[in-house]
Chain A
Amino acid sequence: MTGSEPTPPPLLAADDLVRSHLSGSTLIPAVRGVSLRIDRGEFVAVTGPSGAGKTTLLHLLGGLLRPDEGELRLDGRRVDRLREAAWARLRRRRYGIVFQSGNLLSDFSVADNIELTAVLAGMSTRTARERRQELLADLGLAHKATAGPGELSGGERQRVALARALVNRPELLLADEPTGNLDSRSTRDVLALLSRYHEQGTTIVLVTHDARAASTADRVVSLFDGRIADDARVEEPPAAWRSATGIRDVIDFGG
Chain B
Amino acid sequence: MRALLRWIRADLRSHRLHALLIVLATGGTAAALLLAGSLLGAAADPWQREFRAAGSPDVRIDLRPSAAAAGGSDEPSAELLAREPGVVAVSPPQHTAETTLVGRRPDGAPTAGGTDRTTLVLRADTPGAARPLLRSGAWLDPADVHGIVLEQSAADAVWAHPGDRLTVLDSHGAPVELRVLGIADSPDQLPSQAAGYDLGWTLPATLDLVQPDPAARGLTLGLHLAHPSDAAYTAQRVVSVLGPERVSRITTWLDARAARQQDNRLAGLLLGLSGLAALLAAALAVAGTAGARIKARTGDIALLKAIGFTAAQVAWMFITEQLLLAVTGVLLGAGGAAIAARAVPAPGGGTDALHQLVPGGTAATGAVMAAALVAIGAAAALPALRAARVAPVPPTDGTRPPAMAARPVRLGLVRRLPPTLVLGLGGVLRRRSGLAGSAVRLTVPVVAATLALSTWSTLDAVTRPDGGVTVPSVTARRTTPAPSGGDAQLTGALAADPAVRGVYPGSEIQALAPGQSATLTLRAVGTTDAPYPFSVVEGRAIRATDEAVAGQGALDLLGARVGQWVRITTGGTPRILHIVGRDLEPEHGGRVLSTGFDTLDRPGDPTGPDFWQLALCPGHDPAEVQRDLPTRAGLTGQVELRLPTGPVTRPGALRASVVGLLLLLALIGLVDLLTMAAAGFHERRRDIGLLRAIGLTPGQSAVVLAVRGTAIALAAVAVGSAVGIPLVRRLIDRQGHLGGIGAGIARAPSAWTFLAMAATCATVAAVLCALPVLRVPPPTRGPDGAGR
A residues engaging B (CB < 8 A)? 59, 62-65, 84-85, 88-93, 95, 97, 99-109, 112, 115-117, 119-121, 125, 148-150, 154, 157, 164, 181
Contacts and interface: CB of A to CB of B under 8 A. Distances in A.
Determine which residue in B311, B393, B395 has the highest number of CB atoms from chain A within 10 A of its CB, and name it.
Answer: B393
Contact of A102 (B3, B11, B305, B395): B395
Interface string B15-27: 1000000000000
Nearest to B785: A149
Contacts of A103: 303, 394, 784
Contact of B785 (A90, A112, A116, A157): A157
B391 A64 contact: yes
A149 B300 CA distance: 12
Contacts of B398: 102
B740 interface: no
B10 interface: yes
Nearest to B15: A107
A-B pairs, 8 with minimum CB distance: A92-B308, A149-B785, A120-B3, A107-B14, A85-B310, A101-B784, A88-B310, A102-B394
B309 interface: yes
Given A64-B392, A102-B395, A119-B6, A88 B305 contact: yes
Contact of B307 (A91, A108, A157): A91
Given A64-B392, A119-B2, A102 B308 contact: no
B784 A117 contact: no
20 contacts: A65-B391, A84-B392, A97-B307, A101-B396, A102-B303, A102-B395, A104-B785, A106-B785, A106-B788, A107-B14, A107-B300, A107-B788, A108-B14, A117-B308, A119-B3, A120-B308, A125-B6, A148-B785, A150-B787, A157-B783
A115 B6 contact: yes
Contacts of A88: 305, 308-311, 313, 392
Nearest to B307: A117
Interface string B562-592: 0000000000000000000000000000000
Main secondary structure of the interface of B (DSSP, over half): loop
Contacts of B786: 149-150
A64 B396 CA distance: 14
Contact of B300 (A95, A101, A106): A106
B6 A84 contact: no
A59 B303 CA distance: 12
A192 B18 CA distance: 42
Determine which residue in A64, A93, A120 has the highest number of CB atoms from chain B within 10 A of its CB, and name it.
Answer: A120
Contacts of B394: 99, 101-103
A85 B311 contact: yes
Contacts of A62: 306
A164 B307 contact: yes
Contact of A112 (B10, B15, B393): B10
B297 interface: yes
B681 to A, nearest CB: 15
A127 B305 CA distance: 22
Nearest to A95: B308
A185 to B, nearest CB: 16
A117 B391 CA distance: 18
B80 interface: no
A62 B394 CA distance: 13
Contacts of A119: 2-3, 6
A150 B777 CA distance: 13
B3 A116 contact: yes
Contacts of B3: 116, 119-120
Nearest to A125: B2
A22 B782 CA distance: 30
A92 B313 CA distance: 13
Nearest to B388: A84
A255 to B, nearest CB: 21
Contacts of B754: none
Contacts of B392: 63-64, 84, 88
B197 interface: no
B147 interface: no
A91 B302 CA distance: 13
A109 B7 CA distance: 11
A112 B311 CA distance: 21
A72 to B, nearest CB: 15
B377 interface: no
B308 A105 contact: no
A116 B393 contact: no
B690 to A, nearest CB: 20
A91 B786 CA distance: 27
A85 B312 CA distance: 8
Contacts of A63: 392
B353 interface: no
Determine which residue in A62, A102, A103, A154 has the highest number of CB atoms from chain B within 10 A of its CB, and name it.
Answer: A102
Contacts of B784: 101-104, 106, 149, 157
Contact of B11 (A89, A92, A107, A154): A107
Contacts of B309: 88, 120
Contacts of B305: 88
Contacts of A109: 10
B787 A92 contact: no
B299 interface: yes
Contacts of A107: 10-11, 14-15, 297, 300, 788
A62 B392 CA distance: 10
B133 interface: no
B304 interface: yes
Contacts of A125: 2, 6
B397 to A, nearest CB: 9
Given A99-B394, A106-B785, A112-B10, A84 B300 contact: no
Contacts of B6: 112, 115-116, 119, 125
B299 A102 contact: yes
B308 A91 contact: yes
A23 B558 CA distance: 72
Interface string B757-772: 0000000000000000
Contacts of A164: 307
A190 B328 CA distance: 45
Contacts of A154: 783
A105 B300 contact: yes
Nearest to B9: A112
Nearest to B788: A106
B303 A91 contact: no
Contacts of A99: 303, 306, 394
B162 to A, nearest CB: 70
Contacts of B306: 62, 64, 91, 97, 99
Nearest to A150: B786
A143 to B, nearest CB: 19
B706 to A, nearest CB: 25
Contacts of B395: 102
A200 to B, nearest CB: 21
A28 B494 CA distance: 96
B337 to A, nearest CB: 34
A241 B38 CA distance: 79
A95 B241 CA distance: 90
Contacts of B15: 107
A150 B785 contact: yes
Given A64-B393, A112-B10, A116-B3, A181 B312 contact: no
Nearest to B300: A105
Contacts of A105: 10, 300, 303-304
